[in-house]
Structure 1
Amino acid sequence: MNNLIKVDVITLTKNSSNCILRTLDSVSMQDYKYINHIIIDGHSIDETVTLINQYKHEKKITMFQQNGIGIANAFNIGLMKSSGTLLIFLNSGDTLVNKAVITKIVDSYMKQKWLWAFGETISLSRKQYLKRHIKQYSHWNQSLFLSRNPICHQSTIFSQMLIQKVGLYDERLALEMDYDFNIRASLIAQPHLLYFPISYYDTTGISSIKVFKHYKVHRQLRKKYFPLSPINSFKTDSLCFLKACMRFIMIPIKIFL
C-alpha cells in the first residue's frame, strides 16, 4: 500500500554550491522509491544550478526558478508545485538522518493517518563539530508556541489534506513565516509526534543568525495568536529575549566549529 504514497521533498536554494550536493545525496539515497525532489532556486549566480542539472539523482527531480521575493514566496512555490500525498521542506545544506527515514515516515502515516507530524532534529554547527539532538516532547501542548517555534520545518511532514486547509505561507513575513504557518496548522489539527530523528539541520544559515529580528517578529505573532495578561506577556517577552541573547552568543561558535 505504501506504493500509493508519494512524498515530495522541497528544497530551497540560493548560491548554495558549497552545500547543495549533500542535500541531493541525502534525498537520492533514500530507500523509499516514490519521492519527487522539488528544487526552488532563488536565481543563484554561483554553480548551484549547474551542480543540480549535472547531478545523477536516483529519484525524480524537478527544478523551478523563483518568480517572487523572499523565503515565504519560495515556500509557497514549493507548495504549489507539490502534488505528493506528503511533503517535507529540506533546505539546501540540510540532510535526512539516514536512508530509511522517509520509509519510517510513510509507515507512520499509513498506520496513524495523521494530517501532519514532526520528529526530532539534530542541529549542526558549520564544521559539524557541535551537534545537538533535539528530543521529542512527551506530549503536545499549544503553550509550547509561547517562548519559541517548537517545530523545526526540516523535521516536519505535512499532508496535502492539511495544506489545502491551512493555505499558503504569509509572504508579508520576511522571518518566522514557519512559526505563523505552524500555529495556523495547529489550530486545524494537533501535530502527531514522531519519536525518531528526521534530519540534520544546518544552524548557520542567514535566517538562523538574525536572532533579534526573529525575536521581534516572534513577539508580534505571539501577541496576535496568544494574547496574555500584561504580567504574563512581560514574563514571556523577557524569557524570549534571554533566549535570543543566548542564541546570539552562540553564533561565532556555530560558525567556526
Structure 2
Amino acid sequence: MLPKLSVITIVYNNAAAIERTMLSVLNQSYKNIEYIVIDGASTDGTLTIVKQYEKRLAKLISEKDKGIYDAMNKGLAQASGDYVLFMNSGDEIYELDTVEKIFATSPNADIYYGETEMYDENWNSLGRRRHQAPDTFNWRSFKYGMSISHQAIYVKRSLTEPYDLQYKYSSDIDWIIKIAKKASNIVNTHLYVAKYLVGGMSKQKHRESLKERFKIFSHYYGFVANVINHVVIAFNLGFYFLKHRRTND
C-alpha cells in the first residue's frame, strides 16, 4: 500500500501566493495525500481563497497563533500520515509528479530529501540554494549550515515531535536534527523536490535567527567545534560571494 503523506501548509496574510502553493499539493499525481492548512486568522482575503478548496482538505484551522512554529505544531497534531512534509505558503512542491517520484526511489525510508530551487518575489528562478543538499545526510550534516531546507525533507511521522517554541526563527533546524538522530534509513532522492520563495526577513530577525542557530549548533556539536565550524562557514560564504561577483562582472 502507498504510504500516506501529510502535507501541512502554514499561512498568514499571503493571498498573493497561497493558491499557487495549494495547487502544487492538490494537483499531485500521488493520491494518498492528506492536506492540512493552518491559517493564522488572516485578514487580507487569504482565507477566502483557501476555502475555495476546503472540500479537498483534510483539515482547515483558522485562528490566531503564537508564531510560525506554534502553527506548525498545530498542523503536526492534526497529521495522521506515515510521513510529514511542511510546504508553507509561497513555496511549492517542485513538479506535479514529485511526491510519486520520491516514494518510488526507495521503500520505507525514515527520511527522504532532495534539492531546492530558489525563486524571487516575481517567481523568477534564482537557481539552486547556496547550500547544496549533501550526498549523504545525518544529524551532523548541519554543522556547516542548513544544507537541506525544510520544504525538501519528508520525514516519518513516528520520528517527529513538536517544534521547540523557545526558538522563534530556527526551530526547524533543531527539529530536523532531532529526527535525523533517530533515523537509520535516510534516502537522497537526487531530485529537485521543492521551490522556495526567498523571503524578506528583516536584519533584526536575521541576526536573531543566526544567534539561535549558533545556540542550536553548540548544543548538538559542542561550543568549541561550533566556533571552528563557523570560521569555515564564514570562509565558504566569502568565497561564494567572491566567485559570484567575478562571474557577474
TM-superposed CA distance for 1:6, in Å, is 1.8
Tell me, in whole angstroms, the C-alpha distance in 1 between the residues paired with 2:149 and 2:240.
16
Q: Is the 8 A contact 1:115 1:159 kept in 2?
A: yes
* Counterpart Cα distance in 2 of 1:37 and 1:208: 33
Could you tell me which runs of 5 or more consecutive residues in structure 1 were left unpaired when the two chains were aligned. Answer: 249-257
* Of 155, 159, 166, the match for 1:162: 159
SS at match of 1:146: helix
- Cα separation, partners in 2 of 1:246 and 1:70, compared to 1, 3 Å: farther
- Residue 128 of structure 1, CA deviation: 3.0
Matching residue of 2:91? 94
1:186 corresponds in structure 2 to 180
Name which of 14, 17, 22 aligns with 2:15.
17
- State the partner residue of 2:212: 217
Q: Aligned residues, how many?
A: 238
Alignment correspondent of 1:35: 33
Q: Is 2:128 aligned against 1:133?
A: yes
**1:24/1:205 Cα in 2 relative to 1: closer, same or farther (>3 Å)?**
farther
- 1:227 matched to 2:222? The reply is yes
CA-to-aligned-CA distance 1:49-79 (integer Å, 9 cap, x gap): 011112377x434211245301111111111
Identical pairs, percent: 26
- Pair 1:237 & 2:230 matched: yes
Aligned letter for 2:228?
K
Q: Which residue of 2 is the match for residue 26 of structure 1?
A: 24
Per-residue deviation, 1:22:
0.4
1:118 Cα deviation from its structure 2 partner: 1.2
Please tell me the residue identity of whatever aligns with 2:155: F
The residue matched to 1:32 in structure 2 has which SS? Answer: coil
Task: Give SS of 1:175's match.
Answer: coil
In the alignment, the residues of structure 2 paired with residue 68 and residue 56 of structure 1 have an alpha-carbon distance, to the nearest angstrom, of: 20
Aligned 1:21-170 pairs, distance under 5 A: 21-55=19-53, 59-66=56-63, 68-108=65-105, 111-134=106-129, 135-163=132-160, 167-170=161-164
TM-score for both structures, normalised by structure 2: 0.85
Distance 1:245 1:66 in 2: 43
RMSD between superposed Cα atoms in Å:
2.7
CA gap of 1:234–1:149, structure 2 versus 1, over 3 A, is same
1:200 aligns with 2:195: yes
Task: Tell me if the contact between 2:110 and 2:183 (Cα under 8 Å) persists in the aligned partners.
Answer: yes
Deviations 1:18-73, CA, capped at 9 Å, x for gaps:
1001011111211111212100111111100011112377x434211245301111
Tell me the SS of whatever aligns to 2:144. Answer: coil
Shift of 1:120: 1.0
Q: Measure, in 1, the Cα distance between the counterparts of 2:189 and 2:232.
A: 27
Q: Which amino acid aligns with 2:17?
A: C
| Distance apart, 1:133 and its partner CA | 2.0
- What is the CA distance between 1:151 and its match in structure 2? 1.9
Long gaps (5+) in structure 2: 242-249
- What secondary structure is seen at the aligned counterpart in 2 of 1:112? coil
The CA deviation at 1:177 is: 0.4
